[in-house]
Structure 1
Amino acid sequence: MTFITSRCALAAAIALCFAAAAQAQSNTVVVSGSRFASDPSLLPIGATSISAADIRRAGVTDVNQAIRKIGGVYGRQSLTGSPDFGLDLRGFGTNSDQNVVIVLDGVRLNENELSSATLSTIPIDMVERIDIMRGGASVLYGEGATGGVIQITTKRPQAGERSGNVFTELGQFDSGEVRASVVQGFDDVAFDASAGHQRSDNYRDNNEFKQSRFNGGVKFNTGVGRFSLRADIARQDQRFAGSLTEGEFNANPRQTLTPNDFGKLDSDRYTAAWEHKIGAFDLAAELSHRKKEAEASYFSQFGVFQSAYDTRQTQFSPRVRHLGQFGGLLNELVAGFDFGLWSRITHTAFSNDKASQRNKAVYLRDEVKFAGPQQFRLAAGVRRELFEKESVNPNPFIADAVLVKQANNAWEVQGSMLAAPGLTAWAKAGQSYRVANSDENGFTVQSKPLQTQASHDAEIGLGYAQGAAKIDARIFRHNLDNEIYFDPTAGTFGANTNLAPTQRKGFELDGSYRFAPEWQVQGHFQQVDAEFRSGPNAGRELALVPKNILTVRLAWLPSDGQSADIGVQRVGQQRYGSDFDNSCDARMPAYTVVDGRYARKFGPWELAVTALNLFDKEHFSQAFSCRGGIYPNSGRQLKVSARYDF
């Protein structure tokens, strides 16, 4: 805890500085904690919340963009041209997606493969809020939650509610989007439906992206609880621009060396959910089934390489909560099970793998809030999860069959107290874990399955919320053993391995301040050191981890129907993806991008103009080799939009 202790004074000074500038009024945001809607006095400690109003004001068009531009989460350029950037909490580099759990209305969206959650298929107009909880959270959310959890909550139609909207947008790079949504609520039944189509040539040659989607659901109340059924269906067509060397990027970042590569992705998700309250007990469960079919074709001088993947995943998550008062104490006890079944059939020239995974988990978490002026809270939880992974491949170049059984444990302890009016201090410690997915176990040294990644997590922080100001300052450390990572120096062509002991440690700052009735500023800063703790690379930095990231947004909100929002993000230097021994003579350059939006309402209409990368900064966030393997980010893009609410 030496590193954490050394920065306590800095966190305290910043929080107290904001406290002095604030007014005496509390700022309460209801977010989802304990996998149930939280009691206002048991909100998750240190969470960042993005509201529907924040999303509307910033003019973001998809959930991934909202998380990056408003929540301050670092994102890496998609390799397929889709808007689903790789999301990185706390500097996990190449495998950042595998160290963040994404949850939509209680359903885990992560896959057992090296792919990002397709957040672009979620209708942005139906999002009520997005909660970002940084740090280890495997007790409640299972494997892969070392970096944190991002929870997306959609709107619930109220009895008698009837609303909807139509949106259209046109922009540079031949981009366009049309979407519409409607909500209708009755006494005991409500439904919602949303449909949309978007397309863009994107910034680079041969990088066209198209998507059509439909999302719909029905909710109804009965004598035995609230039931809901939902369908989310999306179809994507993609063209792959491929990577560039540094020289090619400097000459023309928009060019492609793979003008014929393309692919498609079809995804269907069906969900049934139930919740019921019996006295002091809350019961809930979700049953979800996802089907995903992906195809890709890659052209080279040696011919055409084609691949196809057919993936199925079923999840069932029943749970119960007891919330009660005991002698002036408020106690929340949560227990539940998670069951999962995942399978994939692969068809390529080199693999006809049939892979599957079964997992089952039980968890228990208790939190108590003690009566008194200090509002002291103490929480503890444990989780036990069993995995069974199987892979059968008739291809002679790969092991015929692999069967892996793993048992994993997670725990957490955290406490907080009101140190002064509006000022909360907290500390957290725990253990989180991640298991290798099917893609990672399929490409290892000597085809040997990887061990479980374990992380010992610690955090201390100060939070202040009074009147117009809200700020959280956190100092964290993750000590990892057997971190699962692609090592370019392993084997002949590189391989997925368990690394020697590694570490992430750093400082985070989140804040917002309304300094005038019409003006509000909010921001996020992250400083992280990612390095090897021991082994042959001891003390060396891990690749693809920016040391500093700063995101700031300024909003102008007069009462005459106008609004303006401008955001700035500064990303510091980072090592190229292959630079394990820190021998590359260059680092990926730092960059600053600015985006903005101005909107004006005319009755039910809203007209807006949006600028992304306003100053046309040439930059890249994804590069897999020293001065190469570069996937450029987009240059300046201007868009105009119209929205009609009814």
Structure 2
Amino acid sequence: MNKRALIFLSLVSFLTTYSITEKNSIKLEDSVVSTENFETTVRDTPSNVSIVTSNEIQESGAKDLVDVLRTVPGIRVTRYAGTIKFDIRGLNSMYSDRNSLITLDGVPVSASQISNLPLSMIERIEVIPGGGNILYGDKAIGGVVNVLTKNVENEKNYGTVFSEYGSYTSRKLGFNYGTKITNKFLAEIGYIKNDNNGWRDHEDFRNSSLNFKGKYLLENGDIEYKYTYNEDKNLAGVAVPRYVSENDRKDPGKISGSKYRSNDNYLKYIKHLSDKTEVLLFGNYYEIENDNYSRKNGSNYYGTFKRDGDDERKYLKAQLKHNYSDENYFILGMDYLDEAFKPYSVGNTYNSSVSGVGPNGNIVTAGKNIETGDSSKENIGLFLTNKYQYEKIQFRQGVRYDRAKYDFYWRNGKLNSWEKIGTRDDAEYENLSYELSANYLYSETGSTYLSYNRAFRTPTASEMRYTKNSEKLHSQIQDTIEVGVKDFLNDTYISTSAFYKKTYDEIYSAIPPEFSGMVNYNIGTTERVGFEGVMEHYIDKLTLKSSVTYIKAKIIDGEYSGSEIPSVPNWKLTAGLKYDLTEKISISGDVLYYSSSYDLDDLSNEREKNSGEYVTVDLSAYYKLTTDFMLTARIENLFDKKYDEYAGYWDDTYENGQSIERRQYYPAIGRTITVGATYTF
């Protein structure tokens, strides 16, 4: 480890050994929803849980979820081409949203779906590494990021008006207003507009959303409905060769674009059938219309949007929780997911030039009929989990069964089999998940746990359509053993965990040595060994925070046996402080360190491990002029550190129109300054 890392470790060591007294905290009693969809506590959850509250989000001056989650242990959050990438415990930053489950109020969503979520709508965010495999099944192989939005309040009139301005002409304006229409019916409406010109030349990002919430109060329950309409238009720079980003990091190389309109409907019903029995039902219908960006006349920067395809998702979940004694209960449930990619143009047409892999492995180019239509994935899951407490030991057992069925068309891409391109196919998978854990409450504040779980993920509909030589992908199965401790020592909050993960038939998207181009395939068995630790210390008006995350991710069989998983840093270290100058004024700062990693496509580890090492410093402050009016300010990347969100090889066209393979980089944004104002009534 280099000198900067050693200095940083010394800082972390200082913070974590400082003696703190006379500060009370309720962190271990914070509620957690992600693991059960019914509330439990941090102390009673056998996982290394991190929670970020709405107050912490507001006071930090964060402009998006990257700012909110960047110092949380066990998770890596990055920006890339207008969207946000979430990676929990080293499952690869670029394609992490396929391995880490993101939920919005308990409903599985995509990373792009919450990239522009207004932070003012968020009540809290729960990050649970390694959790959620029984409740959610598919994709919870890395863990869960559960974003919980604010509920409609039981008040006659209330609301918030906010604005934010910052570097690269970023500007955000919005409001929400709620009212109590009758004694039983509550309603709220909100609107937000978020625009910025992007930090690279010719980039442009436009987003607006309108949302409505309504709640009808029942005796011992309620019915809640939420609707969100979203419009998004992104023009983003692409990855470029190093000589471009070194000469001018603001050169976007080319502009890629995305444009969509989405409708999101959510309905929830919760009812206490008795003092011991509670039922929960909720459903979600989400649809999105996509447009494709085509550059004009080969220009690097200017083009038009054309109608592309639609995505549709239907989700239903039903749960029943029954307490068969004061401390013990079981949860029984089922869920259903139907998601589909719907191309705008469908049918059977003759294409005079189709390239694909022939029987002998060579690329074949010839004419053939290409059929297109909806490609869908349908999943049904059944689950049961039980919590039993004997004296100070809490035992949990869980089992889940899933069946996934696919109906799809092989994509027209040269890495697919020529014979299968443009033909319809189907597939079916069955999987089981397990969970066994013991949580020992060894003191009034402390607990330690040991857990085992088996999780899985099946391919997405898009992954099924484009694989190496049109081979059917296997399910990705993962076994995890984890041990952890949570406690207060001298009024210092501590949460640590160590884990071992073994993954069979890991699904990966990369450029295999025998091909030129990105493709999906199983790379073999992998293992991950890691440690996470976080501490929060309180000295009167000063709060100190520090965290350590270590992950060693390796491939242990197959063609790449012995290689490290690319794009996974071994170390993430954070240190921060918050000082309340007065009751109204507070300042804070955070330092973040990531170690280096291999290029995204370097599965064989042939190139040097020289991607991504960096240290950044962020500062923020808030001033509460009154109890209702707050000003915030934030400086991100204070010292304008130059680093990259991505590094890997790809084909380019920078020299006389010739396709040349070069190492590509997606440079991260430099220093940014953001100021905001919020008025709550």
Q: State the TM-score, normalizing by the size of structure 1.
A: 0.90
1:481 deviates by 0.6
| CA shift digits 1:189-216 (9 cap, x unpaired) | 2222221101111211122101001121
For 2:210 and 2:490, the matched residues in 1 are separated by 41
Residue identity in the other structure for 1:644: Y
1:599 deviates by 1.9
Residue identity in the other structure for 2:558: G
Of 622-631 and 567-576, the range deviating more from structure 2: 622-631
Could you say which residue in structure 1 is the equivalent of 2:644? 620
For 1:40 and 1:536, the matched residues in 2 are separated by 42
| CA shift digits 1:245-303 (9 cap, x unpaired) | 122221111102215x4331222100111000011111001111000122222438769
For 1:331 and 1:492, the matched residues in 2 are separated by 55
- 2:155 equivalent to 1:163: no
For 1:163 and 1:522, the matched residues in 2 are separated by 34
Q: Secondary structure at 2:135's aligned position in 1?
A: helix
- 2:329 equivalent to 1:332: yes
| CA shift digits 1:355-401 (9 cap, x unpaired) | 01111110000011223xxx211101000000111113696771401
RMSD over aligned CA atoms reads 2.6
Q: Percent identity?
A: 20
1:466 deviates by 5.4
CA contact (8 A) 1:230 1:271 kept: yes
For 1:430 and 1:56, the matched residues in 2 are separated by 35
Could you say which residue in structure 2 is the equivalent of 1:308? 308
1:472 deviates by 1.0
Residue identity in the other structure for 1:463: K
For 2:155 and 2:21, the matched residues in 1 are separated by 39
CA contact (8 A) 1:485 1:498 kept: yes
Q: Secondary structure at 2:670's aligned position in 1?
A: coil
- 2:384 equivalent to 1:364: yes
Could you say which residue in structure 2 is the equivalent of 1:496? 520
Could you say which residue in structure 2 is the equivalent of 1:257? 253
- 2:635 equivalent to 1:611: yes
CA contact (8 A) 1:25 1:466 kept: no
For 1:617 and 1:391, the matched residues in 2 are separated by 45
1:40 deviates by 7.9
Match of 1:120 among 115, 124, 129: 115
CA contact (8 A) 2:402 2:432 kept: yes
Cα 1:265–1:69 shift into 2, 3 Å: farther
Could you say which residue in structure 2 is the equivalent of 1:319? 319
- 2:130 equivalent to 1:135: yes
Residue identity in the other structure for 1:635: G
Cα 1:468–1:155 shift into 2, 3 Å: farther
For 1:40 and 1:510, the matched residues in 2 are separated by 14
1:224 deviates by 7.1
1:18 deviates by 6.5
Q: In the TM superposition, what are the counterparts of 1:425-574 in structure 2 within 5 Å?
A: 425-465=448-488, 468-489=491-512, 491-494=514-517, 495-514=519-538, 516-574=539-597
1:616 deviates by 0.8
- 2:607 equivalent to 1:584: yes
Residue identity in the other structure for 2:58: R
Residue identity in the other structure for 1:415: A
Q: Secondary structure at 1:159's aligned position in 2?
A: coil
CA contact (8 A) 1:64 1:120 kept: no
For 1:242 and 1:24, the matched residues in 2 are separated by 49
Of 552-561 and 130-139, the range deviating more from structure 2: 552-561
- 2:673 equivalent to 1:638: yes
Aligned pair count reads: 617
| CA shift digits 1:334-355 (9 cap, x unpaired) | 1100111111112589884420
Match of 1:386 among 393, 403, 423: 403
For 1:222 and 1:334, the matched residues in 2 are separated by 22
Could you say which residue in structure 1 is the equivalent of 2:36? 34
For 2:592 and 2:404, the matched residues in 1 are separated by 40
For 1:135 and 1:423, the matched residues in 2 are separated by 21
- 2:103 equivalent to 1:86: no
- 2:223 equivalent to 1:206: no
1:306 deviates by 6.2
Cα 1:414–1:23 shift into 2, 3 Å: farther
Match of 1:406 among 424, 429, 435: 429
CA contact (8 A) 2:47 2:129 kept: no
Match of 1:354 among 371, 374, 380: 374
CA contact (8 A) 2:46 2:437 kept: no
Match of 1:241 among 226, 237, 255: 237
For 1:161 and 1:465, the matched residues in 2 are separated by 40
1:540 deviates by 1.1
CA contact (8 A) 1:478 1:505 kept: yes
Q: Secondary structure at 1:97's aligned position in 2?
A: helix
For 2:170 and 2:195, the matched residues in 1 are separated by 6
CA contact (8 A) 2:73 2:532 kept: no
For 2:158 and 2:58, the matched residues in 1 are separated by 16
Could you say which residue in structure 2 is the equivalent of 1:191? 187
For 2:115 and 2:23, the matched residues in 1 are separated by 40
Cα 1:421–1:19 shift into 2, 3 Å: farther
Cα 1:522–1:188 shift into 2, 3 Å: farther
Residue identity in the other structure for 1:62: D
Residue identity in the other structure for 1:87: F
| CA shift digits 1:389-447 (9 cap, x unpaired) | 11136967714011001101100101111334533211111110011112211111221
Match of 2:70 among 68, 71, 77: 68
CA contact (8 A) 2:526 2:555 kept: yes
| CA shift digits 1:558-595 (9 cap, x unpaired) | 44311112122111101111211111145214111111
CA contact (8 A) 1:273 1:287 kept: yes
For 1:480 and 1:307, the matched residues in 2 are separated by 39
CA contact (8 A) 1:26 1:466 kept: no
Residue identity in the other structure for 2:336: F
1:177 deviates by 0.8
Cα 1:625–1:307 shift into 2, 3 Å: farther
Cα 1:307–1:539 shift into 2, 3 Å: farther
For 2:197 and 2:566, the matched residues in 1 are separated by 30
For 1:67 and 1:92, the matched residues in 2 are separated by 17
